Structure 1
């Protein structure tokens, strides 16, 4: 019997009754009802859900499962269904049972918990009233196992949450566009990216209006092609964030086209906000452009090349200008740099370049021959680029043109070793030459010349004429000098000549006579006819001394004797006439007693701030009041102390005395200003100096910045390794280091480069010659001040005696002034009075 057979019993049941044979019809209906009940019973008994029939009192009348426990995965045959229902559900389920008795069906979701339940956890309970012929006779409860559905639902929620979180994290949104319906569906992140209110209705046309005007037409063209031709696409464009119109965002879109009935039906896509990435890219490009601009405009050539191939991968514009070679040649010729090295330096440079193989940075100076044939000095700094495995992959370098610096350094070195008026070697160079000849153990004579009464020419005819006389006389002396002779200018009116000889001193005396005759010839200068005479003192090596100072002092002693004989003559040294040697003998003898008896005392020469005239510190200068010779200047007893090694005791005394004095000033309430001490390089070479100073600072509780150590530049350069180490340790204590007599050494600029000093003291030989007419010394001093300022050093000008000198230094922002213009070295009491006053009044004011 088929379900749709009009002749079957169910069909007959719902058809209109015939007019005749009513009894037969009624019997048929009853039969159909019974069969229908059988259908319902079959449906209930085989339904996968649990169906339980309850009486109005809540008693179980029937159930479609052999055991309720079987449905819940419980082995026990008999089980109370009510015992499985959690307490939290009992009240609403009881109310639902009562509503079913009133004829109202209800559905409730519940969760079975506890150890008894093994099979289901989530369920849906449906309460249905059971109608009798006239009233409700019971309640059906259908329990559906929804555990799997619930799990799937929770999993979908979880995936949805994760998807939203992932999109937010990645600044990415998703969207769907139904082409035929023109309906756009967007994820929450889509709204966030565009800055759209989620409650706002969004269409594809509106989204296209958000695109930056310059990108809109390109985006619209691609979009329309996708609608018409069904082409999937990728595109990037800019939008203005709708919550902040000034906030430009960079967007990537990828869309796929789905087809239906052979036409494009739907666009599904993702949108990604890559603004941060784009801004970082733009910033990186800007930074790279800025770096390239900087590198191209630095006063240095920058380059990088591959280590293995020697191929240049980067060359700055300045490198092209430095080498005077086209940039294309620098890139194309892998041996370009090797080819420009000056032949005199090539072997040394290539040998030194091998240090790069050890992964070490390299710095050296040499000459190159540029593309235009010019020769330059360069400072080459090369840095190896090493990968994680320790292999050198690239070389990075900086080339600086230091030709002007070298020229200036050579010029400073020259003027520090030569006289500016005559271009003859000066006293410093003379001393060096004497030392070299002594080391060679060669016999030689020193002739010390002094022009008689030369001050008369200075005072009566002026310095210009006097300088011209010195120049003309220097030319005359040069003209008669033997090939192996040596001529130097010592001072305003003094010269020195070194002559080699072999056993025959008469030749030296003959030359002395020739010198007197040559200088004595009439001299015509600016229409002035002048007659100049000279006196000469002569000492011989090794008879009259085996040290530089001894020979020079003895030559001067002989000159003194020649002057006493009436001038315009010469005199050889004789120990019987050496008054200074006798004085030296007594000073050396009494010096040891002076140290024990503390006969030394400190004088203080203020260092005054140029701009304000306020006292900023002082240099401590040792003095010795001898019972017979009176006040002995340091230039007489300090050399003696260095010869007999008493200088160590004297230097230590000065350090202790200075620290003690600073403590006394502190206790007395005086303003505390730094005190500088000029130490002999011999003391710097002796061990224990750093420990002594540290001990004194600790004992007297004096800050290290109140102590300054001065050391002469030329002495440092002779002992740079040990001396520099000691000075570095002193700087680590906080003590400031001053370079004294700057400009008189042998390699001033090189020394400034190698050692970081705090203070630069310009030697008085440059300061004293600062005049409106002497532009050379003025230029030198200006250059030194500018150099020191640039490298962060303070400047102290020594030997300032005239207002013109002070005004010049003040105008050029010199920091401190030291000299007779403000004050000569004064005893303790006078300096304490100056400290209280705070200002030093220039002389003449």
Structure 2
């Protein structure tokens, strides 16, 4: 037998045991130094940790320093591995150890904690050691795999990151080894291409879902001839997706051996591009078909980035010109607007949005108006990066605006200023407070030209007449066409009225000059009304009214005439104007008062009630009668508040009388139809009755017969008042809208006879007595009471008594009296009639001899001064009863104030001599039948006195001789009748 070598000796040593089984002791006792040296060298020189275990798992030998340095503890058997491994790992080690005992070499990867408690990846190799055919021990080598592990983890992590990145970027990658026909794909590639599974040996499999129209695009991929870059479509889940592919051929030894490819799902980008293109195309279509222009520039002075086709039509320039010459547009701007546009540019540069209207002149000479909006665009730093603009051609709008502005101020036919322009001019004239004349010019019977010759010739005639008037208008004056054939001229700075009269004569002369239109000779005349500012009016409206009134008077004279407003405006009209002007102030300043006229039982003379009348204490006109201002109140919608004031004032007085223990009598109040038509009146009446604690039976509502026109509407309201206890009186029965049908429907309690029937009772051929008898008989038959108003004489009273008229009201008992006077009558309870109608006693004021005319002489009264202002208001007819050197006595149907704030001119003709004398009212008296007497004192004038003295002497001479006074207009009618007829 050969001598065993070192290795055999090593195995022999490890395989022998003493009978007591302690192999380690045995080794120590029997091992030669050279065997120990071999063993130790093997374990210690190995760079890894090495263990040798017996079959029973006991440690034979190990690198003790490495073992303790790594594990931090001594390992004496395989069981010690349980200290730093998990149960699962320990089980795995045990299995590998047993496998090695069975002759198999095992290698296992585990994770253990070192002495620093760090988890480290290890590879344990289990190698069986044989002696002959028998395995005597196991060689275990521990390798530290940390670097490998870290590389593997990094690779795994990189793969994950790659997958995540590919998913996020919608990118997939693949490789194809040509010779091996091996395909390697990323997970995201499969998802992108919509593949259910991939044949790892088929490149064609990648492109199985390519759109049928794009299959040809993938052919070069399979040819391996060249790098490939393309975009094609695939069908994925019945949806078209856009794929971008990039393939690179990798060569080896001059021949392709591998394909590397990347695909990207570009569907979203492509859809956005398509949508953007569609949107851009839509906007482009819109921009190219808009009448407006749209542009974009890098800056206000920079080149155009975009200019729409609309700019071509607006600027009359091709858009390419704008791209080449960015100043071409600005060069078209009219000189008047260059500064405006330069300022607009500066504002845009400063970051403002601007909008400007300006004019340009195109190269073809067309002038256009543009509306341009410019909007700057900013970056995050606030700097202007782009400028956008929108331009509109507003030429038509500007021209229409200018045309409308022209038509708003000028007459389209004649070119003269129109009514609106003239009113503005008139306002400027009056604002300057300078005197001027107004001429209201009307072409007489112009409608005959239109009707006979046609509107075409009529229009041409108006143009000619307008030009004639324009030529005659002073340079500092104004002329306007106010309506069809009516013109208005203003003439300032006239020296005197004679200049204006001369102008009027000249206008009439020029207007009546014939002219020819289409072989027709046209002849027209004109009428002119003239008023003066500020002598005759201090406001525009009144001045226009006066000129209009003067025009109407001129036409009455037979056309082709002029008339001054001072000759046609009467005092009554002037008074009405002032009352209308001051009425609202009268309500707020409580200028109204209540007067009461007693109503008396004709049989016993007892007081049975009173009619309440409203009076106006006007600061200039004195006590104004209701018939003068109530119609104006109705016209100006003030009748309702005045009626409400009267009602409450009466109830207040009745409450006061009641508290003084006076026996109240029914008070009659006139309620106009307008108040009954207004909702809420019934509620107001009931509220006031309750507030002042007055029995409704003590109220009578007098309704005018005009109310019957609305009887269908207000009959229910009247019935409500009757149910409340208020008695209804029909005023002026027998006159106006009297109808038995109305009486049947409304069923009033009292009929009131109109005073006209009473006043005409005993006139010759009068039938008023029969009418009165019939009305009283009718009322008795209908169980209604009758009140007769306007009873002024004993004869009238006796007549009514005989007819058994229930009540009378009139001056024979009392005029409408102040509240204090009526209160005294209320205390006595009766009124004594006057034996006859007496005129008011006048105090003799004569300083001069007065000549009394047998019949009144016709004269005219003109107001020349009012509240310190010079005016000319007249001529109002008056009747002169007597005259002296110091004044005269007149009769008038006007109620005039006796004060120092109003001065008059009295004009009259006696014996062919004309007089115009200034004076003022000194006293007044109420005459019979709404006629008033006034004493006028002349303002001292020696020349007038001398002329009057001569006339009065002549008058006295005619009287002594009983001769008729010549060349004098006498009025032979009763004054009351004369004024009544004149009024009608």
TM, length-normalised to structure 2: 0.51
Give matches, 1:794-809, under 5 Å.
none
1:396 aligns with 2:388: yes
Aligned to 1:185, the other structure's residue is in SS state strand
Q: Which residue of 2 aligns with 1:590?
A: 583
> Does the Cα contact within 8 Å between 1:54 and 1:139 map onto a contact in 2?
yes
Q: Distance in 2 between matches of 1:86 and 1:96?
A: 15
Q: Which residue of 1 aligns with 2:68?
A: 70
Q: Deviations over 1:526-548 (max 9, x none)?
A: 99999866442212344344544
Of 309, 334, 353, 1:317 maps to: 309
Question: Aligned to 1:333, which of 325, 330, 340?
Answer: 325
| Whole-angstrom distance in 1 between the partners of 2:589 and 2:263 | 94
Given candidates 236, 240, 258, the residue that maps to 1:247 is: 240
Q: Which has the higher strand share?
A: 2
Separation (CA, whole Å) in 2 of partners of 1:279 and 1:86: 56
Q: Is 1:235 aligned with 2:229?
A: yes
- 3-state SS of the aligned residue for 1:163? helix
Provide the aligned length of Structure 1 versus Structure 2.
578
Which residue does 2:765 correspond to in 1?
Answer: none
Of 500, 503, 510, the residue aligned with 1:508 is 500
Describe the shift of the 1:326–1:214 C-alpha distance in structure 2 as closer, same or farther (beyond 3 A). Answer: same
Would the alpha carbon gap of residues 413 and 519 (structure 1) be closer, same or farther in structure 2, given more than 3 Å must change?
A: same
Partner of 1:555: 547
Task: Look up the match of 1:629.
Answer: 632
Deviations 1:423-482 (CA, angstroms, capped at 9, x unpaired): 543210111222334456665321113456778999xx49x9578546524522532541
The secondary structure found in structure 1 opposite 2:291 is: coil
Could you say which structure has the larger radius of gyration? Answer: 2
Match of 1:111 in 2: 111
Q: Partner of 2:472 in structure 1?
A: 482
1:163 is the counterpart of 2:159: no
What is the DSSP-based 3-state SS (H/G/I as helix, E as strand, rest coil) of the residue aligned with 1:508? helix
Q: Is the 8 A contact 1:211 1:237 kept in 2?
A: no
Partners of 2:210 and 2:233 within 8 A in 1: yes
Q: Residues 61, 472 of structure 1: CA spacing in aligned structure 2 closer, same or farther, 3 A cutoff?
A: closer
Q: What is aligned with 1:33?
A: 8
Aligned residue for 1:787? Answer: none
Q: Shift of the alpha carbon at 1:503?
A: 0.2
Q: Matches of residues 445-594 of structure 1 in structure 2 within 5 Å?
A: 445-450=437-442, 461=451, 465=454, 469=458, 472-473=461-462, 475-480=464-469, 481-482=471-472, 484=475, 486-516=478-508, 534-545=526-537, 547-562=539-554, 568-574=560-566, 577=570, 579-594=572-587
Q: What corresponds to 1:829 in structure 2?
A: none
- Indicate if the aligned counterparts of 2:175 and 2:185 stay in contact, CA closer than 8 A: yes
Flag the 1:53–1:283 CA change in 2: closer, same or farther, 3 A.
Answer: same
Cα distance in 1 for residues equivalent to 2:330 and 2:2: 124
Q: Distance in 2 between matches of 1:574 and 1:243?
A: 103
Partner of 2:259: 267
Rounded Cα–Cα distance in structure 2 between residues aligned with 1:598 and 1:279: 86
What are the equivalent positions in structure 2 for 1:325-474 lying under 5 Å apart?
325-350=317-342, 352-392=344-384, 394-420=386-412, 422-438=414-430, 443-450=435-442, 461=451, 465=454, 469=458, 472-473=461-462
Separation of aligned partners in 1, 2:638 and 2:560: 29
| CA contact 2:128–2:139 (8 Å) conserved in 1 | yes
Assess if the C-alpha contact under 8 Å between 2:355 and 2:372 holds in 1.
yes
1:247 Cα deviation from its structure 2 partner = 0.5
CA 1:310–1:577 in structure 2 vs 1: closer, same or farther (change >3 Å)? farther
Distance 1:585 1:280 in 2: 81
Alpha-carbon distance between aligned partners in 2 of 1:87 and 1:596, rounded to the nearest angstrom = 115
Distance 2:589 2:247 in 1: 97
1:188 matched to 2:187? The reply is yes
Structure-1 separation of matches of 2:104 and 2:204: 51
TM-score (norm 1): 0.58
1:113 & 1:341 partners in 2: Cα distance? Answer: 89
Q: Secondary structure at the match of 2:437?
A: strand
Is 2:59–2:75's contact at 8 Å kept on the other side of the alignment?
A: no
Shift of 1:591: 0.2
The 2-side partners of 1:517 and 1:630 are apart by 44
CA contact (8 A) 2:300 2:387 kept: no
Where 1:174 maps in the other structure, the secondary structure is: strand
Could you list the per-position Cα deviations for residues 69-108 of structure 1 after superposition, in whole angstroms to 9, with x for gaps in the alignment? 4252416798944433334544555566667667777655
SS at match of 2:2: helix
Shift of 1:271: 2.6
> After superposition, what is the alpha-carbon deviation per residue over 1:219-253, rounded to whole angstroms, capped at 9, x for unaligned?
645774xx45xx6x351221323543x51413130
Structure 2 residue aligned with 1:740: none
* Runs of 5+ consecutive residues of structure 2 not aligned to the other structure: 13-34, 593-627, 640-678, 684-984
**Which stretch shifts more, 315-324 or 532-541?**
532-541
Aligned-pair distance for 1:299? 0.7
Shift of 1:272: 2.7
Distance 1:570 1:403, change over 3 A: same
1:520–1:119 CA distance, 2 compared to 1 (3 A): closer
CA contact (8 A) 2:468 2:511 kept: no
Counterpart secondary structure, 1:72: helix
- Contact 1:469 1:525 (C-alpha < 8 Å) held by counterparts: no
Question: CA deviation digits over 1:259-300, x for unaligned, max 9?
Answer: 1x3433223333333333333334334333333332222112
Unmatched tracts of structure 1, length 5 or more: 1-25, 600-624, 637-659, 665-845
The alignment partner of 2:352 has SS state of: coil
CA shift digits 1:96-129 (9 cap, x unpaired): 6667667777655433247x45576333455666
How many angstroms apart in 1 are the aligned matches of 2:180 and 2:336?
A: 86
